[in-house]
């Protein structure tokens, strides 16, 4: 048998060693190829065809950053995997040295084994991505809400870049790991599986550091979200503190708790607890790094995917400032040009959109004196215009008595503020007199095509009778005739088109938007401020879907890679201990350990290994979601619950599969 055949047989006949290494790497290569497939697609060119140039730019940047993250994490994970299963083969290397292989040949053997497994994963990952590239492009087109499906193309650049990057990565990893194996002490190599493990020590003050760092990290993140002036520096500090605290949790606090349990004799000597917890304490020496890596990686994946799912939910649409299908807003005091409205009707007719309603009205910005040297203003809307807007969406109409007003919030903070502290009256001071208007009620929160956010009451519009608005307008105009520079009175006209099937107005909206741009080029007047603003709910919705689709692609694919590697870490940890466990349980079986007791001990230890890091990751993620919830105006917990449920479900399936195979292996030595 030649040396080449020996290398191939070593890899082919060790599926339990190289299998997880191959599949996790294969998955990472496939994800990297998907990103490259999108970046180099001819239809994308330098940007993604979206409703926003900014979104297009960040989409391309996001794909490129995700590629870098996958490569860096793949390099770390592969190096960790190779180092782990090389440690389990020290006895094998000792036998090879006894049989005559020299150190140079052993180094060469390790190098080509790693290269063979790595290159096989790269080739299979590229081949898999190429075969299913048409399906991948179709799925990505739907997720990104592109107007046309991405056509298939021959992805030479993605193939070449993927092969070169991962090929070089495996070349470096193979070279480093092959020279890192120490073969000087033959006796130590042969006895590597029989060497007893040292018990890891834990001091109470080091265990307390876990609680201190994690608590400080949580506090820093939560304080960050309650600040008005956001800075990512405290957020970064909080994350670093939590990561450090997580390491101390597994290396010190967990061991400290297990040692304390061992001292409770009634608990420790009860049935199989002695075997279970004694083994856990000694296993912690090898599993600290594994538990820490899996917890941090899983927390990253859950937080990223949960955030993407929450932001991508329908609740985000409710945050839109304008819920109407088409909105024309005419600035400069003049009504919306009739030619634009007639053009909209013709465009709707050409697109077979007939079930629409229309409404027109005005918003009034009325200035008053806060004190002799300071002015402010309120935004007014007539009750008739308000009810017309409500009628477009079949919502409840209101009435207001002459001389009184209704306060209309347009954001959740303003609505909450009015619920807690609704003013009894609205006082408007002019130079000659003071007008007091009783506040009848606060209307339900609603979004409107126009709102002055710098008003005395932020995100609040005042609804009143038209006669009262006209009277206030005249008084405000009269008082500022002598000092027109202080007059901030402003009049905005709007015209709306609304249909329940607004999602189908995307083609029409694009045409109407182009018509408004042409009109503004001819008629916009910078001196009078005259121009027309156009808004389309369908186009905003499309942009939102593309943003959410982009987030989903970036986070779900990266999260899937992270989770796959964390699952591989656990499997490698189990496999590295399998030979020692075989010998241990074989001896226990000879002195009376039954199969049910074996199942119970193994199940407990596997549950700790599989679900303790996941539990820590979920807790970290929940704190992050609490912080996120405080920044958003809609409930994210349903989406977050689904994501966490998926992670737990997949982990349960993986746990039962590994448990079955692990017990099957142990049963062979107990016969």
DSSP string, 306-336: HHHHHHTSGGGGGG-S--SSEEEEEESSPPP
Three-state DSSP class for residue 441: strand
Task: Read off φ and ψ for residue 333, nearest 5 degrees.
Answer: 95, -15
In 3D space, the residue among 358, 364, 411 whose CA is nearest the CA of residue 383 turns out to be 364
In 3D space, the residue among 426, 376, 432 whose CA is nearest the CA of residue 403 turns out to be 426
Q: Please compute the mean of the pLDDT values over residues 387-404 and round it to a whole number.
A: 90
Does 441 score more than 70 pLDDT?
yes
Question: Tell me, what's the pLDDT at 551?
Answer: 66
User: Which residues are registered as beta bridge partners of 495?
Assistant: 328, 360
Q: Exposed/middle/buried for 353, CB within 10 Å: 0-12, 13-18, 19+?
A: buried
Does 577 score more than 80 pLDDT?
no
Question: Tell me, what's the pLDDT at 175?
Answer: 80
Alpha-carbon gap, residue 47 to 53, rounded angstroms: 8
Q: Are 353 and 507 in contact (CB under 8 A)?
A: no
Per residue in 292-305, pLDDT (tens digit) is 877 887 887 788 77
Question: Tell me, what's the pLDDT at 231?
Answer: 58
On the CB side of 514, how many CA atoms lie within 13 Å of its CA? Answer: 6
Alpha-carbon gap, residue 24 to 26, rounded angstroms: 5
Q: Are 448 and 459 in contact (CB under 8 A)?
A: no
Query: Parallel, antiparallel, or unpaired: how do β-strands 531-536 and 326-331 relate?
Result: antiparallel
pLDDT confidence tier of residue 501, bands split at 50, 70 and 90 = confident
Q: Are 121 and 16 in contact (CB under 8 A)?
A: no
Question: Tell me, what's the pLDDT at 511?
Answer: 92
Question: Tell me, what's the pLDDT at 119?
Answer: 86
In 3D space, the residue among 531, 524, 537 whose CA is nearest the CA of residue 330 turns out to be 531
Alpha-carbon gap, residue 360 to 373, rounded angstroms: 36
Least confident of 9-23, 256-270, 378-392: 256-270
Q: Which residue has the tokens 């809400």?
A: 145
In 3D space, the residue among 650, 623, 634 whose CA is nearest the CA of residue 241 turns out to be 623
Alpha-carbon gap, residue 470 to 329, rounded angstroms: 21
Question: Tell me, what's the pLDDT at 417?
Answer: 82
Per residue in 217-267, pLDDT (tens digit) is 888 888 766 654 455 677 778 888 998 999 888 888 887 877 776 666 666
Question: Tell me, what's the pLDDT at 166?
Answer: 85
Q: Which residue has the tokens 């992270």?
A: 562
Estimate the crossing angle of helix 103-131 against helix 3-12, to 10 degrees: 60
Question: Tell me, what's the pLDDT at 360?
Answer: 92
User: In what side-by-side order are the strands of the sheet with 460-464?
Assistant: 425-429, 434-442, 405-409, 460-464, 374-382, 357-371, 490-498, 326-331, 531-536
Alpha-carbon gap, residue 645 to 121, rounded angstroms: 30
- Alpha helices, DSSP H, located in 324-465: 338-350, 383-392, 412-420
CB atoms within 10 A of CB 195: 10
Q: Which residue has the tokens 């002799």?
A: 372
Q: Are 210 and 249 in contact (CB under 8 A)?
A: yes
Alpha-carbon gap, residue 254 to 257, rounded angstroms: 5
For residue 503, the 8-state DSSP code is G
For residue 149, the 8-state DSSP code is P
Q: Which two tokens stand for residue 10?
A: 């070593």
Three-state DSSP class for residue 623: helix
Question: Tell me, what's the pLDDT at 469?
Answer: 92
Provide CB contacts within 8 A for 562, sequence distance 6+. Answer: 73, 297, 298, 300, 301
Q: Is the pTM of this model over 0.75?
A: no
Q: How far is CA 630 from the centre of its chain?
A: 16
Alpha-carbon gap, residue 16 to 85, rounded angstroms: 10
Q: Please compute the mean of the pLDDT values over residues 119-146 and round it to a whole number.
A: 80
Question: Tell me, what's the pLDDT at 185?
Answer: 53
Total length of the chain: 671
For residue 252, the 8-state DSSP code is I
Alpha-carbon gap, residue 149 to 142, rounded angstroms: 8
Task: Read off φ and ψ for residue 202, nearest 5 degrees.
Answer: -145, 130
CB atoms within 10 A of CB 531: 17
Question: Tell me, what's the pLDDT at 464?
Answer: 93
Q: Which two tokens stand for residue 323?
A: 């819920």
Q: Please compute the mean of the pLDDT values over residues 373-400 and round it to a whole number.
A: 88
Question: Tell me, what's the pLDDT at 468?
Answer: 92
Estimate the crossing angle of helix 53-87 against helix 156-180, to 10 degrees: 30
**Mean pLDDT of all residues in the chain?**
76
For residue 593, the 8-state DSSP code is -
Q: Are 384 and 444 in contact (CB under 8 A)?
A: no
**Torsion, Cα of 54, 549, 327, 404 (10° steps):** -110
- The percentage of the chain sitting over the pLDDT mark of 90, rounded to a whole number, equals 12
Q: Which residue has the tokens 């009184």?
A: 404
Q: Are 562 and 360 in contact (CB under 8 A)?
A: no
Higher-pLDDT residue of 352 and 43 is 352
Q: Please write down the long-range contacts of 625-632, taking CB distance under 8 Å and 24 or more positions apart.
A: 625/303, 625/306, 625/307, 625/310, 626/222, 627/221, 627/222, 627/224, 627/225, 628/225, 628/307, 628/310, 630/222, 630/225, 630/226, 631/225, 632/310, 632/311, 632/315, 632/319
Q: Are 63 and 38 in contact (CB under 8 A)?
A: yes
Cα-atom radius of gyration of the chain, to the nearest Å? 34
Report the range out of 37-51, 373-387, 478-492 with the highest average pLDDT: 373-387
Does 348 score more than 80 pLDDT?
yes
Question: Tell me, what's the pLDDT at 197?
Answer: 53
Q: How far is CA 412 from CA 354, 415, 439, 440, 445, in A?
A: 34, 5, 20, 20, 7
pLDDT confidence tier of residue 79, bands split at 50, 70 and 90 = confident
Question: Tell me, what's the pLDDT at 386?
Answer: 92
Q: Are 127 and 30 in contact (CB under 8 A)?
A: no
Per residue in 621-671, pLDDT (tens digit) is 898 888 877 766 667 788 788 888 988 998 898 888 888 877 777 666 555
Q: Which two tokens stand for residue 474?
A: 């005249």
Q: How far is CA 8 from CA 1, 14, 81, 175, in A?
A: 11, 10, 19, 18
Per residue in 512-571, pLDDT (tens digit) is 999 999 999 988 887 777 889 998 888 877 777 676 666 666 667 667 777 777 776 677
CB atoms within 10 A of CB 542: 21
Higher-pLDDT residue of 544 and 55 is 544
Q: Are 531 and 524 in contact (CB under 8 A)?
A: yes
| Residue ranges of domains in the chain | 1-194, 196-263, 325-542
For 105-140, b/e burial (b = at least 16 CB within 10 A) is ebbebbbbbbbbbbbebbebbbeebbeebeebbeeb
Three-state DSSP class for residue 357: strand
Per residue in 186-212, pLDDT (tens digit) is 445 444 444 545 555 667 788 888 889
Does 355 score more than 60 pLDDT?
yes
Three-state DSSP class for residue 200: coil
In 3D space, the residue among 85, 154, 170 whose CA is nearest the CA of residue 578 turns out to be 85
Least confident of 287-291, 327-331, 468-472, 528-532: 287-291
């Amino acid at each position: 048998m030649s040396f080449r055949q020996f290398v191939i047989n070593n890899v082919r006949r060790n599926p339990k060693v190289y299998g997880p290494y191959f599949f996790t790497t294969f998955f990472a290569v496939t994800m990297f190829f998907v990103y490259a497939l999108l970046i180099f697609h001819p239809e994308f060119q330098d940007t993604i065809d979206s409703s926003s140039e900014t979104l297009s730019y960040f989409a391309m940047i996001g794909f490129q950053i995700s590629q870098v993250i996958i490569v860096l994490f793949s390099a770390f994970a592969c190096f960790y995997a190779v180092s782990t299963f090389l440690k389990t083969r020290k006895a094998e290397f000792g036998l090879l040295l006894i049989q005559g292989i020299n150190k140079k040949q052993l180094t060469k053997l390790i190098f080509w084994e790693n290269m063979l497994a790595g290159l096989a994963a790269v080739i299979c990952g590229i081949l898999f991505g190429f075969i299913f590239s048409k399906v991948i492009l179709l799925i990505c087109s739907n997720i990104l809400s592109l107007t046309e499906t991405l056509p298939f193309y021959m992805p030479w650049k993605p193939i070449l870049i993927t092969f070169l990057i991962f090929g070089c990565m495996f070349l470096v990893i193979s070279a480093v790991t092959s020279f890192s194996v120490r073969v000087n002490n033959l006796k130590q190599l042969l006895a590597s599986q029989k060497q007893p493990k040292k018990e890891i020590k834990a001091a109470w003050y080091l265990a307390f550091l876990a609680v201190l760092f994690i608590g400080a990290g949580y506090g820093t993140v939560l304080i960050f979200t309650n600040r008005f002036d956001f800075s990512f520096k405290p957020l970064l500090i909080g994350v670093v503190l939590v990561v450090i605290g997580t390491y101390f949790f597994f290396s010190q606090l967990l061991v400290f708790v297990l040692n304390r349990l061992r001292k409770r004799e009634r608990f420790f000597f009860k049935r199989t607890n002695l075997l279970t917890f004694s083994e856990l304490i000694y296993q912690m020496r090898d599993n600290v790094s594994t538990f820490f890596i899996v917890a941090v990686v899983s927390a990253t994946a859950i937080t990223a995917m949960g955030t993407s799912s929450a932001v991508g939910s329908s609740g985000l649409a409710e945050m839109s400032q304008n819920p109407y299908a088409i909105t024309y807003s005419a600035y400069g005091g003049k009504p919306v040009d009739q030619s634009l409205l007639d053009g909209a009707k013709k465009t709707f007719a050409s697109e077979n959109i007939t079930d629409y309603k229309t409404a027109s009205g005005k918003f009034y910005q009325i200035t008053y004196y806060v004190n002799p040297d300071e002015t402010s203003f309120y935004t007014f809307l007539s009750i008739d215009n308000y009810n017309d807007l409500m009628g477009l969406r079949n919502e409840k109409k209101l009435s207001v008595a002459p001389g009184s007003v209704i306060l209309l919030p347009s954001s959740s903070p303003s609505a909450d503020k009015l619920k807690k502290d609704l003013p009894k009256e609205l006082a408007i001071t002019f130079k000659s007199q003071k007008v007091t208007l009783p506040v009848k009620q606060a209307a339900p929160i609603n979004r409107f095509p126009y709102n002055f956010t710098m008003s005395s009451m932020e995100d609040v519009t005042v609804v009143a009778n038209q006669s009262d608005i006209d009277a206030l307008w005249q008084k405000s105009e009269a008082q500022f005739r002598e000092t027109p520079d202080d007059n901030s009175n402003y009049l905005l006209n709007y015209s709306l088109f609304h249909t329940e099937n607004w999602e189908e107005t995307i083609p029409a909206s694009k045409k109407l938007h182009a018509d408004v741009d042409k009109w503004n080029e001819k008629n916009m007047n910078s001196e009078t401020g005259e121009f027309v603003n156009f808004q389309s709910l369908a186009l905003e919705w499309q942009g939102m879907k593309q943003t959410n689709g982009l987030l989903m692609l970036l986070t779900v694919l990266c999260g899937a890679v992270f989770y796959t590697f964390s699952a591989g870490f656990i499997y490698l940890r189990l496999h590295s201990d399998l030979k020692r466990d075989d010998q241990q349980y074989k001896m226990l079986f000879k002195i009376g350990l039954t199969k049910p007791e074996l199942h119970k001990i193994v199940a407990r230890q596997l549950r700790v290994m599989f679900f303790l890091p996941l539990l820590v990751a979920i807790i970290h993620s929940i704190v992050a979601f609490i912080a996120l919830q405080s920044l958003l105006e809609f409930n994210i917990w349903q989406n977050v619950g689904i994501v966490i449920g998926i992670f737990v479900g997949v982990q349960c399936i993986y746990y039962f599969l590994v448990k079955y195979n692990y017990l099957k292996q142990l049963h062979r030595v107990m016969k």
